[in-house]
Chains A and B, each alone.
Chain A
Amino acid sequence: MDTFQFSRPTTVDQAVQLGAASPTAQQSAEVRFVAGGTTLIDLMKLNIERPRQVVDINVLPLEKIEAAPNGGLIIGALARNSDVAHHPTVQRDYPVLSQAILSGASPQLRNMATTGGNLLQRTRCIYFRDTEHACNKREPGTGCSAIEGHNRMLAILGTSKDCIATNPSDQNVALTALEATIQVQGTKGKRSIPIHEFYLLPGSTPDKETVLEPGDVILSVTLPPPVAGANSHYLKLRDRAAYEFALASAAVVLKLSGSRIQHARVALGGVGTRPWRSLEAERVLQGHTAEVATFRRASEEALKDARPASENGFKVELAKRCIVRALTMSTKTA
């Protein structure tokens, strides 16, 4: 681990100012904010992140979970994953988020990891995490070792010729299905970013993962009011039942009117280069009968652009079945 300066600002303004000194807020940022530390310190030990300055934001007043005036929920960026998952409002109105968070990491890590930090969780691609290998995400222009290498865990949607790394988060899949908005304060003031505009596709610049700019501090994540009468569910398929990243996962929100689908949201994890909203699947579901045949058609649409690599072709069928099963389960709890 390289040496760094350490600071502990007490206001968001100070944190913004410190962060703004970095030429980028993306890979190789010279200034990094630390909250839980579960991603950043891990990557610093591996020499993948080498910030000159580490800014501890844990004393900023951003840990509250509170009702929004419009009936939604505001989750502070520093709210710990375990506090969000066990929060009574989250469990009652947004169970998909609670289920997603509890399906990831371990109890210890969830006590550390924060809502804002989890938004910025980095890929588990083994080539990204090993400086002995070429990786366009870690060192732009060096090539991608994964495309011809061990890619069983990697993405099949949103990939490019330069990167097939998966976004590993469970939380962010649920937040995508819930259409969350991310509040950010930066050098030009505050702004709100819908989660579907927050993450970038890798394209030819996989080192750029989000729209965050130097100095941007995530303040909170806002959930819209829960859809009355809707059910939500998170299903995660993985190599072992606990403490493992998803091979494929699905977060669904479904509201029926009789047997007809009135409202559907579908997001996928473990298969995309970013938390993957499937508008295609939602269009198939909207207004149609809630039955397995409809769910199958939706899953076909969701995966129609899938481009598997040498070892992860199985994920296409796995993701389809994951969608069908998650939708089926969300009708059963209706």
Chain B
Amino acid sequence: MAKDPSTPPNQSVGHVSRRSFLSQLGVASLAATAPPLLASTTAPATPIVEPTATDHQLEGTVPLSLRVNGKEHHLNVDPRTTLLDCLRENLNMPGTKKGCDHGQCGACTVHVNGRRVNSCLSLAVMHPMDEITTIEGIGQPDNLHPMQAAFIEHDGYQCGYCTSGQIMSAVALLKEPVGPTDEDVKQAMYGNICRCGAYPNIVAAVQYARKQA
């Protein structure tokens, strides 16, 4: 990893990326809504951030140490927080996507101790001892994982929303008992839905990366 994975790319000063635009929009719409979306029956409305040593634990939260992409994070989280929401909202790692939020689409796929899982169906507090790997930890724009490079080479996406989940699944299957054929790859990848229908190119990308591995 060339960069600190917790630093999102495309956040340079003076440049409005799609992501920074959307997050500003999110702040504006939050301010216009009462009560804020983050409010819960026991937790205060303040978004949960990494506490400093002097912070007191917020009411309704539990302390959590989470190891993501090799870096330890010390948090206080509402126990309802899914691993997915924790990565995106608390740790500012929006590479992992929320699709269906019910374990049916695969957009939220991350690795827990090297195995692919749906992060939307797991609570963050269930992972204090685990090694979590997200798309940010797989590779960065200047140091792509061979699977990421293969997806670019073979145009394995259209809108790109499912792509990080597809890549996390594809990287995991390199270590799984998967047969050699395209049909085997389709079987191994059916937990990741692509509504654009880029499947032929995804299979081509995965097969290309497997042959290189």
A37 contacts B191, C-beta separation under 8 Å: no
Is A190 on the interface with B (CB-CB < 8 A)? no
Q: What's the tally of chain A residues with a CB closer than 8 Å to chain B?
A: 28
B103 contacts A42, C-beta separation under 8 Å: yes
A37 contacts B126, C-beta separation under 8 Å: yes
In the bound assembly, the distance between CA atoms of A4 and B126 in angstroms comes to 14
Is A41 on the interface with B (CB-CB < 8 A)? yes
Query: From residue A298, how far is it (CB to closest CB) to chain B in Å?
Result: 31
B79 closest partner in A (C-beta): A6
The answer to whether A41 and B62 touch (CB under 8 A), given A3-B80, A107-B173, is no
Is A56 on the interface with B (CB-CB < 8 A)? yes
Q: Which B residues lie within 8 Å of A160 (CB)?
A: none
Q: Which positions 151-199 of chain B face chain A at CB distance < 8 Å?
A: 169, 172-173, 176-177, 186-188, 190-192
Is A86 on the interface with B (CB-CB < 8 A)? yes
Q: Which positions 31-89 of chain B face chain A at CB distance < 8 Å?
A: 40-43, 60, 62, 78-80, 82
Partner of B125, one of A6, A82, A111: A6
B187 contacts A45, C-beta separation under 8 Å: no
The answer to whether A41 and B121 touch (CB under 8 A), given A3-B42, A107-B191, A243-B191, is yes
A41 contacts B191, C-beta separation under 8 Å: no
- Binary CB contact string for chain A from 34 to 47 against chain B (1 if under 8 A, 0 otherwise): 10111001100100
Q: Which A residues lie within 8 Å of B97 (CB)?
A: none
Query: From residue A308, how far is it (CB to closest CB) to chain B in Å?
Result: 27
Is B19 on the interface with A (CB-CB < 8 A)? no
Q: Which B residues lie within 8 Å of A111 (CB)?
A: 112, 115-117
Is A60 on the interface with B (CB-CB < 8 A)? no
Q: Which positions 106-122 of chain B face chain A at CB distance < 8 Å?
A: 106, 109, 112, 115-118, 121-122
B121 contacts A107, C-beta separation under 8 Å: no
The answer to whether A86 and B177 touch (CB under 8 A), given A4-B80, A6-B62, A37-B126, is yes
Q: Which B residues lie within 8 Å of A21 (CB)?
A: none
Is B123 on the interface with A (CB-CB < 8 A)? yes
B79 contacts A54, C-beta separation under 8 Å: yes
Q: Which A residues lie within 8 Å of B122 (CB)?
A: 37, 41, 112
Q: Which B residues lie within 8 Å of A36 (CB)?
A: 121
Residue from the set B40, B112, B117, B122 with the largest chain A CB neighbour count within 10 Å: B117
Is B102 on the interface with A (CB-CB < 8 A)? yes
Q: Which B residues lie within 8 Å of A34 (CB)?
A: 123, 126
Is A134 on the interface with B (CB-CB < 8 A)? no
A112 contacts B79, C-beta separation under 8 Å: no
Residue from the set A36, A59, A107, A243 with the largest chain B CB neighbour count within 10 Å: A107
B79 contacts A4, C-beta separation under 8 Å: yes
B176 contacts A107, C-beta separation under 8 Å: yes
A107 closest partner in B (C-beta): B191
In the bound assembly, the distance between CA atoms of A37 and B80 in angstroms comes to 12
Residue from the set B42, B125, B169 with the largest chain A CB neighbour count within 10 Å: B125
Is A142 on the interface with B (CB-CB < 8 A)? no
B187 contacts A108, C-beta separation under 8 Å: no
B80 contacts A1, C-beta separation under 8 Å: yes
Q: Which A residues lie within 8 Å of B116 (CB)?
A: 107-108, 111
Partner of B41, one of A3, A41, A112, A243: A3
A45 contacts B102, C-beta separation under 8 Å: yes
Is A109 on the interface with B (CB-CB < 8 A)? yes
- Binary CB contact string for chain A from 88 to 119 against chain B (1 if under 8 A, 0 otherwise): 00000000000000000111110110000000
Q: Which A residues lie within 8 Å of B126 (CB)?
A: 34, 37, 56, 58
Query: From residue B88, how far is it (CB to closest CB) to chain A in Å?
Result: 16
Jot down 23 A-B pairs with beta carbons below 8 A, ordered by A.
Answer: A1-B80, A2-B41, A3-B42, A6-B79, A36-B121, A38-B103, A38-B118, A38-B121, A41-B82, A41-B122, A86-B177, A105-B191, A106-B103, A106-B190, A106-B191, A107-B176, A108-B117, A108-B191, A109-B191, A111-B112, A112-B121, A242-B186, A243-B191
Q: Ordered nearest first, which 3 A-B pairs have the shortest CB separation?
A: A106-B191, A6-B79, A242-B190
